[in-house]
Homo-oligomer: A and B are copies of this chain.
């Protein structure tokens, strides 16, 4: 089941670089594990912003909630979430 998520990251300007780097490294590892599991189906950077558009494929709303709350950057994000479903005209298997 697909969800469209926009994540906007706001790191405090006075966070020490070492701490920021550590959080980002954890975030990347967490993210790539979910990519390999085909759960975090897509991610794109919004040009010029510290924001991304992501597509998730999860079992349930609960699974999405747990996944998002586990993000190392979660305390520094605002999130917009929309459920998606297959478009009737699509010819791609990938978009369902």
Contact = CB atoms under 8 A, between A and B. Distances in A.
A91 B45 contact: no
A61 B47 contact: yes
Interface string A28-62: 10011001100000111111110011010000111
User: Main SS of the interface on chain A?
Assistant: mixed
Nearest to A81: B48
Interface of A: 1-5, 12-13, 27-28, 31-32, 35-36, 42-49, 52-53, 55, 60-62, 64-65, 68-69, 75, 79, 81-92, 94-95
Given A27-B89, A42-B94, A61-B84, 19 more contacts: A1-B60, A2-B44, A3-B61, A4-B53, A28-B89, A35-B92, A43-B87, A43-B95, A44-B95, A45-B84, A45-B87, A46-B82, A46-B83, A47-B85, A48-B68, A48-B69, A49-B79, A64-B83, A81-B82
